Amino acid sequence: MIRKIFQILVLVALGAGSAAGAADARLGAVHLVASEAAARVTLDISRFMGERFFTLDRPFRAVIDLPQTRAGRGLRLPRARGLVAGMRMGLRPNGALRLVLVLHSAVRLHAAWAYSPARGHELVLTLGDAPGAGATAARYTIPTPIRARHEPLNTGRDIVVAVDPGHGGVDPGAIGPDGLEEKTVTLAIGRLLAHRIDEQRGMRAVLTRDSDIFIPLRERREIARRAKADLFVSIHADDVSQRDIAGASVYILSLRGASSEAARWLAERENSADLKGGIKLSDKSSTLASVLLNLSQSATISESMTAARQVLASLDRSVPVRKPQVQQAAFVVLKSPDIPSMLIETDYISDPLEDRKLANPAYQRRIADAIFRGVCAYFREHPPAGTLFAEERQRELDRLVARNR
């Protein structure tokens, strides 16, 4: 709510916010490997922008929309082959580039983002059970949810939750007395949480990592921004010196921690640092930009607090909780000025008992489920505009009003 008021104020003050702009991604090439029963389509895209896809029947088609993406100059679509009877491309009124694959038969569609330094970002579409597709997608990072969609695009959008398994790759995080590494625990819980979110109608998850790789903290926030996340949840299981401390705690950013990052944002605003909701910082004077950024950051911290309280309350109902209040600290990973963010210390890996508990898949699931229920409760009460959750809440309110008339 606070953010909505803030955005209205800003839009009124500035005349209007513009959404599309120089920050578009470019589709450089489309590759097709196909047999009669399966196909793999690889899209070379200049940067990660997220995607939406769904299928249509009679004739069977797979439709992929790439938000804020343009076709590169001279881009040519591959010729029909095997399962793929044809391919076409067009620009949607909302600025998304739409790719339509006409198929000879109905098959399952999977999409996964991959990245490698040599080849950059790729969106890999797997139709049917294409050989070798799994290996391609697993090559590295930014996986997006694998989910085919049948509903039309202009119904309520999904709420996007960025799930950030802490540490990874060369950074193992804390190490328990039995040698259990934090990065392993956070990835397991993160995957379980992402899965629960993807199962929920009207919600989808974006994992900042889905394998044992190192991703810098700022890049984790960037992944959330590019996916237009409504919430960022970082998962940890850290070390403490006192052995008798156990239980979960939930952190959000402190205002003091926010101010140092604001300066950096302002310095970067020439490049791409525009706020969610179409508020551009790049064309403002530095004073106005700094005021806008601070307003946005404090609104975001207050939303983070609301969300974090829900998650902490939910954790408290199923696992031991260390502190009954949400904690505030200056974690770098929480410093998004426009995405409500929280960091969850699920438990302390340094405790020999907790170490064993954290290694247990059933306990990992209990934590993931509790986080999910908290996140869900938050969005039911505070659904972002334009989402399925917002539509449902509106219907609920209408019913209440009708009953009390």
Q: How far apart are CA 296 and CA 287, in angstroms?
A: 14
* Contacting range for Zn ion; rule: CB under 5 A; set: 164-172, 202-210, 258-266, 372-380: 164-172
What residues pair up with 25 in beta bridges, in sequence order?
69
Q: Any contact of residue 166 with Zn ion (CB under 5 A)?
A: yes
* Contacting range for Zn ion; rule: CB under 5 A; set: 15-23, 230-238, 333-341, 380-388: 230-238
Nearer to Zn ion, 239 or 391 (CB): 239
- DSSP code, position 288: H
Nearer to Zn ion, 2 or 217 (CB): 217
Minimum distance between the CB of residue 314 and Zn ion, rounded to whole angstroms? Answer: 21
Q: How far apart are CA 35 and CA 29, in angstroms?
A: 20
Here's the x/- map for Zn ion, 178-217, by CB under 5 A: it reads as ----------------------------------------
Minimum distance between the CB of residue 61 and Zn ion, rounded to whole angstroms? Answer: 44
- Over its C-alpha atoms, the chain yields an Rg (Å, rounded) of 22
Nearer to Zn ion, 143 or 166 (CB): 166
Helix axes 286-318, 361-381, angle to 10 degrees: 130
Nearer to Zn ion, 186 or 387 (CB): 186
Minimum distance between the CB of residue 251 and Zn ion, rounded to whole angstroms? Answer: 11
Minimum distance between the CB of residue 349 and Zn ion, rounded to whole angstroms? Answer: 9
Helix axes 388-403, 361-381, angle to 10 degrees: 60
* Contacting range for Zn ion; rule: CB under 5 A; set: 49-57, 172-180, 224-232, 390-398: 172-180
Nearer to Zn ion, 159 or 192 (CB): 192
Residue type, 233: V
Q: Which of 173, 176, 337, 383 binds Zn ion (CB under 5 A)?
A: 173
Q: Any contact of residue 168 with Zn ion (CB under 5 A)?
A: no
Minimum distance between the CB of residue 140 and Zn ion, rounded to whole angstroms? Answer: 21
Q: Which of 238, 274, 351, 355 binds Zn ion (CB under 5 A)?
A: 238
Query: Total number of residues binding Zn ion (CB under 5 A)?
Result: 4
Nearer to Zn ion, 181 or 238 (CB): 238
Nearer to Zn ion, 173 or 202 (CB): 173
Nearer to Zn ion, 181 or 274 (CB): 181
Handedness of CA 279, 280, 281, 284 (dihedral sign): negative
Q: Any contact of residue 236 with Zn ion (CB under 5 A)?
A: yes
CB closest to Zn ion, residue no: 236
Nearer to Zn ion, 239 or 316 (CB): 239
Q: What stretch of H or E contains 124?
A: strand 120-127
Own/partner pairs, 208-211, CB within 8 angstroms, 24+ separation:
208/141, 208/142, 208/162, 208/163, 208/164, 208/165, 209/141, 209/164, 209/165, 209/168, 210/141, 210/143, 211/138, 211/140, 211/141, 211/168, 211/187
What residues contact residue 203 under an 8 Å CB cut-off, 6+ apart? 158, 159, 160, 161, 197, 376, 379, 389
Own/partner pairs, 390-398, CB within 8 angstroms, 24+ separation:
390/156, 391/155, 391/156, 392/202
Nearer to Zn ion, 166 or 340 (CB): 166
Tokens 């200049």, residue located: 46
Q: How far apart are CA 117 and CA 121, in angstroms?
A: 9
Q: Any contact of residue 230 with Zn ion (CB under 5 A)?
A: no
59 upstream amide cis, omega within 30 of 0: yes
Here's the x/- map for Zn ion, 39-78, by CB under 5 A: it reads as ----------------------------------------
Minimum distance between the CB of residue 242 and Zn ion, rounded to whole angstroms? Answer: 17
Q: How far apart are CA 98 and CA 322, in angstroms?
A: 48
Tell me which residues in 85-124 interact with Zn ion (CB under 5 A).
none
Tokens 């600290």, residue located: 329
Q: Where on the chain is the footprint of Zn ion (CB under 5 A)?
A: 166, 173, 236, 238
